Structure 1
Amino acid sequence: MKKYLLIAAAVFSLTAFTTVLTEVWKNDPAHSALQFTVTHLGINDITGTFNDFSVTVHTEKPDFSDAVFELSAKTASIDTRVEARDTHLKSADFFDVAKYPTLTFKSTGIEQESWNKFKLTGDLTMHGITKSVTMDLLYKGKVENPMTKKQTVGFQLTGSLKRSDFKVGEKFGEAMVSNVVRIKADGEFTQ
């Protein structure tokens, strides 16, 4: 009986010793932005933001090479600095915020290209459609915030997608609004 108890204790100790804790990081809304840019009439870039969003990062490795990112944004928080345009973007012609109040992203894979550059792949759900997208992720480092005394990490996500893949603004062709939408997200995260 003692032999079995010793084996059980050894297995428990080994399991406890090798268990890795998952770190959870959440974005600081005051120091984070989710932006998009489209080309209007083929001659001018228009940039907007989603002002109400949250991002959570789960990782077990200090270099974030195993990180899982989850984002949720309220589509009604779209802001292009022009109220009439924002109202139109919220309508059924584009985001149909009454029917699709959130857009979400959950990463499904991360590929490290250098110590701070990654390809982040995940499922983006927008306008009721889910598609896999791959974006560039830049890890900008870790510092202690002198105001909060908390460890803070920074990330920048860039890439593009096609709005037609999500049936957003189908009535409006390339001559009016570019099909390619460029994405840029910057964020500071704390545990």
Structure 2
Amino acid sequence: MTKTKWALDASHSSVDFSVRHMMIANVKGTFNKFDATIEANPTDLTTASIEFSVDTASVDTRNQDRDAHLVSADFFDIENHPAMTFKATTIEKTDDGEYNVTGDLTLRGVTKPETFAVTFEGQGKDPWGNEKVGFSAEGTISRSEYGLVWNAALETGGVLVADKVKISLQIQAAKAE
């Protein structure tokens, strides 16, 4: 099967993250605006072209004050860096429907290679006859490597915000016309 262009179905997709807070709990958030360019044979991603862009101003942690801090120069610095991007460079099949997708992640003006574990979740037609595919992806990045170094020390030891950030994507896409 040849590569097919797929259009992101944002209303059935999500870009979420979680980070340890106060060393005792995980705080979760999402990005409400994102887009992807996908050209792939969904049953064999090894030759796929994948590019992803996230509007960092669309961060939503269900807390307005925290979201305002996250878009400030302390974190995403949206005035200078309005988007986080990812472009796949290498895709390795690890099992049936399982892949390690490595690419260049750019956040806050810093580009580094990152690898995400991607699962092909399936393919089918919706009630209107549109061909759809689903993927999930998981990965962990070090926020300090991207210049997101703001933190506060805790009286009991440790820090307010952990360095490791878990990223989780649920992607549904439609065959492009």
Would you call these one fold, judging by a TM-score over 0.5? yes
Name the stretch that deviates more: 20-29 or 48-57. Answer: 20-29
- Residue type at the aligned position of 1:69: I
For residues 47 and 69 of structure 1, the distance between their equivalents in structure 2, rounded to whole angstroms, comes to 25
Structure 2 stretches lacking a partner, 5+ long: 153-157
Structure 1 stretches lacking a partner, 5+ long: 1-19
Identity of aligned residues (%): 36
Q: Is the 8 A contact 1:48 1:78 kept in 2?
A: yes
Q: Specify which structure has the higher proportion of strand.
A: 2
Q: Is the 8 A contact 1:54 1:73 kept in 2?
A: yes
Residue by residue, what CA displacement relative to the aligned partner does 1:31-88 show, whole Å, maximum 9, x if unpaired?
0000010000000110001110011211257433311211011110000010000000
Q: Deviation at 1:149? A: 1.1
Q: Deviation at 1:137? A: 0.3
Structure-1 residue corresponding to 2:155: none
- Residue type at the aligned position of 2:137: L
Larger radius of gyration: 1
Q: Does 1:95 align with 2:76?
A: yes
- Residue type at the aligned position of 2:47: D
Work out the number of aligned pairs and report it: 170
Q: Specify which structure has the higher proportion of helix.
A: 1
Residue by residue, what CA displacement relative to the aligned partner does 1:81-115 show, whole Å, maximum 9, x if unpaired?
10000000010010011110011000001000112
For residues 67 and 41 of structure 2, the distance between their equivalents in structure 1, rounded to whole angstroms, comes to 40
Normalised by the length of structure 1, the TM-score is 0.85
- Residue type at the aligned position of 1:172: N
Q: Is the 8 A contact 1:63 1:115 kept in 2?
A: no
Residue by residue, what CA displacement relative to the aligned partner does 1:160-189 show, whole Å, maximum 9, x if unpaired?
000011011x13166110100000000111
Q: Does 1:140 align with 2:121?
A: yes
